[in-house]
Amino acid sequence: MKRVVITGIGAITPIGNNCADFWAAVKAGKSGVGRITKFDASELKTQIAAEVKDFDPTTVIDKKEVRRMDLYTQYTMAAATEAFESSGLDMEKEDPWRVGIISGSGIGGIETFNEQHTVYMEKGPSKVSPFFIPMMISNMGAAQVAIKYGMRGVNYNVVSACASGTHAIGDAFRQIQYGTNDVILAGGAEAAITPISMAGFCNMKALSTRNDDPETASRPFDADRDGFVMGEGAAYVVLEELEHAKARGANILCELVGYGATDDAYHMTSPIPGGEGGAKAMSLAIEDAGVDVTAIDYINAHGTSTKYNDSFETSAIKSVFGDYATKLAVSSTKSMTGHLLGAAGGVEAIVCALAIKDGYIPATINYKTPDPECDLDIVPNVGRNADIKYAMSNSLGFGGHNATIVLKKFED
């Protein structure tokens, strides 16, 4: 099997529109949650979200093309561009058939869907945009990146709800391991802060209703958590075959060494009690990495701030790590970013990569009231310096989808 390293990263998030600003905000424990500004949310039970701020797509996309892209595709283009450029890749020196992109989006172009449905209902079918379908479909983010750079290798979109981004990274990892591609951008994008999607999640009672105190609404593992906070954005990593990266003198951030994927086969929205499916994904990823459980120094948990997810993920971690679970740092950066759905896995993979690089474990902010069912070391409120050799990222999605990756400090 070929070795796979990360040589580029890019992100658009509620707490920073590039990786440097994002990571600085993570280390500062900044919350990206506030009142919804995209539309009038006064009739919703939840009136808060983690919105991307001050985003200007024309910095990376021609103005004419912006009008032909859903917001989630614009986020994809911005984050993928940062990742590609930070990697130092030059497509003129690459075999385009061996450079690809695998993206994840749980929902895709729902903003376009909302807008064009309104047009149809108010003005009739003849006024629906001819760009409606290509703007809406969730594969278009990956397609637009490929068009921009001339990437002709593997290209598709993963749709597995909140596990989409991590599945995309894991699939790309396998492709490079097997030798089918040399370089693959992988991650995810989401832009689902829209009236209809917010209404749907509200009526499921999945979202926090802490409208009077938005910044502390996302509080994973806290006894008073009352639901997740919708986030938006995109994040991509450049995965590259090790010898290919070395040959061009690439800056290697870390190595990707393990991937596990399972399904609970239990319920449309609830994780299986005890977290058996997530536990198996973690075990498979650790086995794939070829290490003992005690080698893992840090877990970036799925940690959504919902009652069942946080307690069942805690149970899953305990079942995998046994007595070592209490010695393991486990934090949720969704306490700062909210839940970016299909983009979450990409964002949290970058967190793990930078945690390894900088020797820093991010905090779970907004933690006030301990929950006896979530009794791990969740790095409450303040991050800490630590030497991290192995970091793990978990993603768990509606439908029971589970995905875990293991990253390692690079050693040649």
Please give the positions annotated as active site.
162, 302, 339
Write the burial class of residue 123 (CB in 10 Å: 0-12 exposed, 13-18 middle, 19+ buried). exposed
The C-alpha atoms of residue 144 and residue 392 are separated, in whole angstroms, by: 30
Cβ atoms of residues 173 and 6 within 8 Å: no
* Residue 111 tokens, joined: 């903003």
| Extended beta strands in 179-295, E state | 183-190, 233-241, 254-263
What crossing angle do the helices spanning 344-358 and 164-177 adopt, rounded to 10°? 70
Rounded Cα gap, residues 112 and 68, in angstroms: 10
In whole angstroms, what is the distance from residue 142 CA to residue 102 CA?
Answer: 7
Q: Give the closest residue to 157 by CA, choosing from 148, 149, 144.
A: 144
Contacts of 40 (CB under 8 A, 6+ apart): none
